[in-house]
Structure 1
């Protein structure tokens, strides 16, 4: 269970939880492939466009992180990750549109670096691992898989079996130090499907 204490899941926190953002008309069609486990740079030919579907539009100010169906991050967020030279992590410029206001320094983050790393005996699911037809209830990572992957190739990755994105503690520490808004992390060994709804922002970084 070594890696359960080294990896974190990313989620919304603070002001970003008051809004729901979604792609709107004019967003590049290639961005519909953001959940793909392969690169999409040849499919994305233009910028994305995101609008506010829920929340007080009059008070909206973008955070450094917003969850849409995917992950929308600011230029500041992107710059923190740049020195890590993350494989299989790409960014696509996306405009946040609210009436006549446009914020252009945001990006959809496409994480297609992936590993089949769920420990099936220790994790808890609803459904079946056959064909990956399940909902992940509690996660434990398979050390026999991850120990074979050099750290620089698994600093940020997605589970192949499930659309869960994982961040190594060194990356989380850098993002936390940058004092970014709208994001928080929960360590894998304290994550469950219900933890995303717990109101404990003060502990969201889980003992970094």
Structure 2
């Protein structure tokens, strides 16, 4: 089960989590429709994304490097540059403006992760429901090493689980993102994730760096 310790899920931290951001009607309509697609949407998107604050004290709002938007994420230019340095397969970025109280920030991107694999280990993962037609609520994740062993690592550094909308980041990518000093994000190791987990603890963060 080594892969359960090599991959992480991304979530908002106390910086970004106090706000909710969503796409506005000004956003390219294909972004709102296609961001969860399991294929490239470059030929479909013609314009920029537009995002606004829909919940939180917008009078104090200042963008973080990561916000959860449309399940996939809204990331800063700095965040994007870290990912681009890995030459990732099946990951695309679409320029997006954040608008709030007459201010506009134009250096963020909606991220589209369409590289996807069926990677849940049916014996070790825990679900409520049935694997038939993926009709379940995922309660605990364990990754199938038989699947991941057959995929070159450069093709699975960042990918989406096919069975459920979860995005997995390899530990090497997580280390680079953390080293960049970015804001708005926390990472939860797959082995530690459960349906009730929201944040990694400070001890887990320290343990991660100790292992580098």
Between the aligned partners of 1:5 and 1:38, the Cα distance in structure 2 is 28
Tell me if structure 1 keeps the 8 A contact 2:186–2:200: no
Tell me if structure 1 keeps the 8 A contact 2:188–2:200: no
State TM-score, norm by structure 2. Answer: 0.94
Q: Write out aligned runs for 1:34-53 (5 A).
A: 34-53=35-54
Match of 1:87 in 2: 89
1:66 aligns with 2:77: no
RMSD after superposition: 1.3
User: How far off is 1:205 after superposition?
Assistant: 7.1
Match of 1:15 in 2: 15
Q: Write out aligned runs for 1:41-190 (5 A).
A: 41-70=42-71, 71-190=73-192
Gaps of 5+ in 2: none
Tell me if structure 1 keeps the 8 A contact 2:7–2:168: yes
Structure 1 counterpart SS, 2:41? coil
Per-residue Cα deviation, 1:145-182 (whole angstroms, up to 9, x for no partner): 00000100000000111110000000000000001000
Gaps of 5+ in 1: none
Tell me if structure 1 keeps the 8 A contact 2:118–2:162: yes
How has the CA–CA distance of structure 1 residues 142 and 199 changed in structure 2, closer, same or farther, with 3 Å as cutoff?
closer
How has the CA–CA distance of structure 1 residues 96 and 158 changed in structure 2, closer, same or farther, with 3 Å as cutoff?
same
Q: How many residues align?
A: 207
Between the aligned partners of 1:116 and 1:199, the Cα distance in structure 2 is 25
Structure 1 counterpart SS, 2:80? helix
How has the CA–CA distance of structure 1 residues 201 and 62 changed in structure 2, closer, same or farther, with 3 Å as cutoff?
farther
How has the CA–CA distance of structure 1 residues 201 and 73 changed in structure 2, closer, same or farther, with 3 Å as cutoff?
farther
Structure 1 counterpart SS, 2:124? coil
User: How far off is 1:203 after superposition?
Assistant: 3.1
Per-residue Cα deviation, 1:116-153 (whole angstroms, up to 9, x for no partner): 10001100011111111111110000000000001000
Between the aligned partners of 2:147 and 2:200, the Cα distance in structure 1 is 33
Tell me if structure 2 keeps the 8 A contact 1:28–1:48: yes
State TM-score, norm by structure 1. Answer: 0.96
Structure 2 counterpart SS, 1:192? coil
How has the CA–CA distance of structure 1 residues 205 and 83 changed in structure 2, closer, same or farther, with 3 Å as cutoff?
farther
Between the aligned partners of 1:107 and 1:122, the Cα distance in structure 2 is 35
